[in-house]
């Protein structure tokens, strides 16, 4: 249960103000068809984070527990720092080929590409390796992505202007830092998780 809750919370917080949330806002403003946009976000996230979860599971099979602890701990601390750097979306990313793929297809392709190498994808790899439960982590990170991005699709940028982005990013950074410290010190093992 912890893997699901932590992965959901961390990704939901990390996604607020992230480029994929900005992409959701752009797609909603451009197409004004929320259902295919939300379904495209869901499909792209499941595929992208599924790959990341599988990679996390593979990493646990090839690294010794001691090396894995250091890689994950330092990785979580790196994620904490990276979370504090705000994302911006490139203007070119707004030129999704909706006429060729439809709204769902354009959202699927745009979100999948935007998530490649993004902090939430890397966090999914790390949490899948940390918890040893890739399916639960992928479910949690996908849920976290939807928690952050679906309101952006329906409410638009009226919501994003009222959220204190620095505070949200700070909370997400603290969560990543605590995961890093707990992993490096072995605190999680001492408490049975």
In the prediction, which pLDDT does 5 show? 93
What mean pLDDT, rounded, does the chain reach?
79
Most confident of 38-52, 76-90, 147-161: 38-52
Q: Is residue 154 a contact partner of residue 179, using CB atoms and an 8 Å limit?
A: no
In the prediction, which pLDDT does 137 show? 94
Question: Is residue 65 pLDDT above 80, yes or no?
Answer: no
**CA–CA gap between residue 15 and residue 149 (Å, rounded):** 8
Who has greater pLDDT, 183 or 122? 122
Q: What three-state secondary structure class fits 187?
A: helix
Most confident of 13-17, 46-50, 66-70, 118-122: 46-50
| Per-residue tokens: 68 | 């894995």
Q: Is residue 20 a contact partner of residue 114, using CB atoms and an 8 Å limit?
A: yes
Q: What is the pLDDT of residues 76-133, one digit of tens each?
A: 787 777 767 765 544 444 444 555 678 898 889 888 888 887 778 888 988 898 888 8
**CA–CA gap between residue 11 and residue 146 (Å, rounded):** 9
- Going by the DSSP 8-state scheme, the letter that residue 156 receives in this structure is T
In the prediction, which pLDDT does 193 show? 41
In the prediction, which pLDDT does 121 show? 85
For the CA atoms of 187, 133, 54, 27, the dihedral, rounded to the nearest 10 degrees, stands at -90
pTM listed for this prediction: 0.68
Q: Is residue 172 a contact partner of residue 13, using CB atoms and an 8 Å limit?
A: yes
In the prediction, which pLDDT does 138 show? 94
In the prediction, which pLDDT does 189 show? 54
**CA–CA gap between residue 110 and residue 113 (Å, rounded):** 5
In the prediction, which pLDDT does 95 show? 47
**CA–CA gap between residue 55 and residue 126 (Å, rounded):** 9
Q: What percent of the chain has pLDDT over 70?
A: 80
Q: What three-state secondary structure class fits 180?
A: helix
Secondary element (H or E) of residue 23: helix 19-31
- Read off the pLDDT of each residue in 150-169 and give the average, rounded to a whole number: 69
* CB half-sphere exposure, 176, CA atoms < 13 A: 29
Parse the chain into domains and list their residue ranges.
Answer: 2-188
Q: What is the pLDDT of residues 7-27, one digit of tens each?
A: 999 888 888 777 788 788 878
| Per-residue tokens: 159 | 């919501």
Question: Is residue 192 pLDDT above 60, yes or no?
Answer: no
Secondary element (H or E) of residue 28: helix 19-31
């Amino acid at each position: 249960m912890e893997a699901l809750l932590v992965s959901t919370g961390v990704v939901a917080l990390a996604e607020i103000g992230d480029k994929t949330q900005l992409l959701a806002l752009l797609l909603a403003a451009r197409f004004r068809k929320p259902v295919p946009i939300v379904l495209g976000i869901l499909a792209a996230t499941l595929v992208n984070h599924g790959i990341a979860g599988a990679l996390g599971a593979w990493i646990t099979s090839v690294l010794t527990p001691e090396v894995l602890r250091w890689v994950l701990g330092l990785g979580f601390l790196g994620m904490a720092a990276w979370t504090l750097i705000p994302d911006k979306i490139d203007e070119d990313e707004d030129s999704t080929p909706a006429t060729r793929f439809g709204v769902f297809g354009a959202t699927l392709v745009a979100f999948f590409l935007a998530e490649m190498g993004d902090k939430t994808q890397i966090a999914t790899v790390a949490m899948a390796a940390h918890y040893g439960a890739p399916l639960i982590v992928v479910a949690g990170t996908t849920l976290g992505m939807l928690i952050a991005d679906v309101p952006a699709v329906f409410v638009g940028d009226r919501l994003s202007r009222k959220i204190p982005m620095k505070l949200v990013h700070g909370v997400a950074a603290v969560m990543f830092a605590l995961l890093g410290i707990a992993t490096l010190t072995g605190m999680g093992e001492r408490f049975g998780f």
